[in-house]
Amino acid sequence: MITLTRKLKKETPASNGPQIIDASKRVSIRDRLLVKEVQEMEQTLPGTCSVKFDNPDELFNISLTVSPDEGYWAGGTFHFHIHVTEDYNMAPPEVKCLTKLWHPNISEDGDICLSLLRQNSIDSLGWAPTRRIKDVVWGLNSLFTDLLNFDDPLNLQATELYLKDKEAFRTKVNDYVKQYAKR
């Protein structure tokens, strides 16, 4: 993050004389937005989340860890990769769950059903340019508590098991946590 901030400062002209701008070194709008958003996000992260940047020059690649302290997935640690495309903030980031889990809104392959990650959503809760990366983090965190949605499932088998036998659902979630997501 510090490196990208320095890069932004170097782009600001120090004198009023003519300057040559190398297009390959120009900072994108996405990167300018992310410098500000990442600082804000780090200050307002839920206590069950942490973020990491493998490369401080690539704020558009975010590693998110969610460790729920309540609910079905308590005791597990779940890893997500958030990739912010060049179209940001007009398009939502791409998010993948890297930890295999049993969840109605996350497939075993890591695809995620969360309305704010949809460009077009029928419930008016989809992506909008006013949304921020922190909204995505809070939304992903909430999938383990209050945003758990059995009415709009991605993993139909998980939903069917929950509706048929809540105890069997809990057991299967616990088995997945022990096998793939133990802290």
Active centre residues (catalytic): 113
Torsion on CA atoms 25, 30, 36, 37, rounded to nearest 10: -150
- Residue 96 to residue 110: CA distance in whole angstroms: 5
Query: In 3D, which of 135, 147, 161 has the Cα closest to residue 105?
Result: 147
**CB-based contact 35:5 (threshold 8 Å):** yes
**Burial label, 81 (beta-carbon count in 10 A; 0-12, 13-18, 19+):** middle
**CB-based contact 4:59 (threshold 8 Å):** yes
- Residue 34 to residue 128: CA distance in whole angstroms: 16
Name the residue type at position 97. C
Query: Taking CA 44 as the corner, what is the angle to CA 40 and CA 50, rounded to the nearest 5 degrees?
Result: 100
